[in-house]
Structure 1
Amino acid sequence: MMSSSLLLAACSKPRENVWQGYVEGEYVTISASQSGRLDRLSVARGQQVSVGAALFALESGDETAARQQALRQLQSAEAQLTDIQSGKRPQEISVTQAQLLQAQAMAKKAQVQLARDESQFQVGGIAKQQLDDSRATAETTAAQVRQWQSQLAVDRLPNRDAQIRAQQEQVAASQAALAQAEWRLDQKTVSATRTGLVFDTLYREGEWVAAGNPVVRMLPPENVKIRFFVPEPVLGKLKLNQTVTLYCDGCPADLPASISYIATDAEFTPSIIYSNESRAKLVYMIEAHPSMTDAPKLHPGQPLEVSLP
């Protein structure tokens, strides 16, 4: 019967090509481009979030009002452009036509009165002053007829191209102002652009957050990496994209990882001339990334062992 010490030796992993390492995370800090009071914090430390999940929101009263103002200005500019492009409305043309008819009637009456006064003046029935008054009235009413005829012709014409182009530019400027106001409003609500772990929250609701200050620290799974160190004689066995195996306490199974970086400089240089014995004291940092599925199982700072499969 095999002794317990022999059983332990048989079950233990070989120590050759096994190196000590640890988990490291490259954190992503999430902030807002605008300042404001933190009105809503939608996540907590340790929470896993997906793309599009709401993270936090800042007060947005001023930005909401600015957007409404920009929207009203755009609607006004578009209404003015439509009015300019359509010219005078039929009701307005009808008013001008009525004014013209009234002027024509008055001019006709004035001409009849002038003809009557001229006949009376020939026989000495009226004074010269009365005839002059009749002539002036006839000329005035005739001028009014010509005025309203010209106004009616103008009302029936479309507006000038230059005026339409100027109003189109005003509409474009109002659209740009609205887009800017909407962008500023959108910046007050921040959502996750990547899947990951909420590692920490740096503000509490009600606190003032300056523009650009991080509010949430996240750790996406692709930013989890393994760092370990190998002696100089082993360096030649490793290459980029090579698979290594991770062993850690509490891990359900051995996890694979892919080498993503091999340092070119030694982390430690002995203070003696190189020899076959001293070369083993040189260590080089290696980085490897686990799969996206296995990354959430690892935690920054966690010690582990790395070996070749």
Structure 2
Amino acid sequence: MKPQLKNRLTLLAIVAAALAAGAYAWTQLRATGPGENFASGNGRIEATEVDVATKLGGRVQDILAQEGDFVDAGQLLARMQIDTLEAVHAEAKARLQQSVAAQASAQAQVAVRESDKQAAQAVLAQRQSELEAAQRRLARSQTLVREGAASDQEVDDDRARERSTQAAVVAARAQVNAAQAAIDAARTQATGARATVAAAEATVARAKADIDDSALTAPRSGRVQFRLAQPGEVLGGGGKVLNLVDLSDVYMTFFLPETVAGRVALGSDVRIVLDAAPQYTIPAKVSFVASTAQFTPKTVETASERQKLMFRIKAQIDPQLLQKHLRQVKTGLPGVAWVKLDAETPWPANLQTRLPE
């Protein structure tokens, strides 16, 4: 065998041995971790998703965002046609004006009825004065008759006058009572008119709110993931127009066997290594540990044989860290999450935090 060929074969053998050793080491690292104080589970990068949807059914007029766009909370993303809503709003405002006019008329009626009552009270006071005068005159006549200074006819006339005046007082008091009843009725109508105005104002406000809700804004900052409708489409109430991903709420969900999950505490340190970028190690914190176990999902890989019961763990990535690398955040990427079971144990060199520049 030629020396040159022999050297090449030797080099290939060394490379093959190195690759085999590396593959074995990687397999062992994934299987057992860097020590008994560490555990791992596979998962995918996820983020909170929010659908931008219509409140009312209608036709989509404009969509101002494209897939992949970064948007801020409150930013206008789409508009719905509002011709019908504007007509409803105009009608509601017209009815409100009618109600306000009716309320003013009812208040005026209250004032009129109160004036009528004052007039009736004045008449009553006059009739009461006349009654007092008639009663005094009758008393004098009766005294004069006993003294022989007046005739019985005069007494009879005074008595008739006194009784007539009493009847006039009763009639005047009835007029006052009737005026008070009219005031109460007018006030009731005024109260009803005020309620009608309030209802009309609420209708106007509701129509205005429907118009405002037809301008679809971003409920939170994030990235547009999917465009689910196109301008001109007619959507029902709750129809989805866009799907947003909140890049400030990114996490990885993974599963650990019941023998390990009991040692995982909220706030425990986690390191995430993505399959697409194994050169980076992303720090995270345990934000959720399931209180009950579940059967092993099909997508979960375990170190040895499949465990029957697993606990779901959620590792949250720091929002401030995400803001620094916002445009590099990708959801759906698979990877491995390593969790430290003992807070005093340092991370091994291969799991120290390493982030892109």
Question: Normalising TM by the smaller chain, what interval?
Answer: 0.5 to 0.7
Change (3 A) 1:305 1:80: same
Change (3 A) 1:213 1:255: same
Where structure 1 has 5 or more consecutive residues not aligned to the other structure, the ranges are 90-153, 270-277
Partner-residue secondary structure (3-state), 1:25 = strand
1:261-303 Cα offsets, whole Å, 9 max, x none, are 346234179xxxxxxxx98642734321212234544322212
Match among 75, 87, 98 for residue 97 of structure 2: 75
Partner-residue secondary structure (3-state), 1:293 = helix
Is 1:301–2:332 an aligned residue pair?
A: yes
Higher share of residues assigned helix: 2
Q: Which residue of the partner structure matches residue 50 of structure 2?
A: 28
Change (3 A) 1:32 1:268: closer
Aligned AA (1:257): A
The structural deviation recorded for 1:161 is 2.1
The structural deviation recorded for 1:52 is 0.9
The structural deviation recorded for 1:74 is 1.1
CA RMSD after TM alignment: 3.7
The structural deviation recorded for 1:253 is 5.2
Normalized against structure 2, the TM-score is what? Answer: 0.54
CA contact (8 A) 2:67 2:226 kept: yes
Counterpart Cα distance in 2 of 1:19 and 1:37: 46
Counterpart Cα distance in 2 of 1:286 and 1:162: 64
1:25-75 Cα offsets, whole Å, 9 max, x none, are 342222112111110112111122222111211110010111112112212
Q: Which of 288-297 and 52-61 deviates more?
A: 288-297
Q: Which residue of the partner structure matches residue 273 of structure 1?
A: none
Partner-residue secondary structure (3-state), 1:240 = coil
CA contact (8 A) 1:45 1:200 kept: yes
Partner-residue secondary structure (3-state), 1:172 = helix
Partner-residue secondary structure (3-state), 2:320 = coil
CA contact (8 A) 1:46 1:198 kept: yes
Aligned AA (1:46): G
Is 1:45–2:70 an aligned residue pair?
A: no
Aligned AA (2:42): Q
Is 1:242–2:268 an aligned residue pair?
A: yes
Change (3 A) 1:198 1:293: farther
Counterpart Cα distance in 2 of 1:279 and 1:286: 19
Q: Which residue of the partner structure matches residue 313 of structure 2?
A: 286
| Matching of residues 132-211 of structure 1 within 5 Å | 160-211=186-237
How many pairs align? 229
Aligned AA (1:164): A
Counterpart Cα distance in 1 of 2:253 and 2:186: 73
Counterpart Cα distance in 2 of 1:211 and 1:88: 46
Counterpart Cα distance in 2 of 1:268 and 1:205: 40
Counterpart Cα distance in 2 of 1:207 and 1:187: 17
Sequence identity (%): 21
Aligned AA (1:214): K
Where structure 2 has 5 or more consecutive residues not aligned to the other structure, the ranges are 1-14, 112-178, 341-346, 348-357
The structural deviation recorded for 1:202 is 0.5
The structural deviation recorded for 1:83 is 4.6
Counterpart Cα distance in 2 of 1:233 and 1:265: 13
Counterpart Cα distance in 2 of 1:74 and 1:196: 41
The structural deviation recorded for 1:242 is 1.4
The structural deviation recorded for 1:251 is 8.5
Is 1:261–2:261 an aligned residue pair?
A: no
Counterpart Cα distance in 2 of 1:251 and 1:78: 71
Partner-residue secondary structure (3-state), 1:29 = strand
The structural deviation recorded for 1:223 is 4.6
The structural deviation recorded for 1:246 is 1.6
Match among 219, 224, 234 for residue 245 of structure 2: 219
Change (3 A) 1:67 1:211: same
Aligned AA (1:301): G
Counterpart Cα distance in 2 of 1:223 and 1:174: 43
Counterpart Cα distance in 2 of 1:31 and 1:48: 18
Aligned AA (1:200): F
Partner-residue secondary structure (3-state), 1:181 = helix
Counterpart Cα distance in 2 of 1:288 and 1:199: 22
Counterpart Cα distance in 1 of 2:272 and 2:313: 13
Counterpart Cα distance in 2 of 1:48 and 1:251: 26
Q: Which of 41-50 and 232-241 deviates more?
A: 232-241
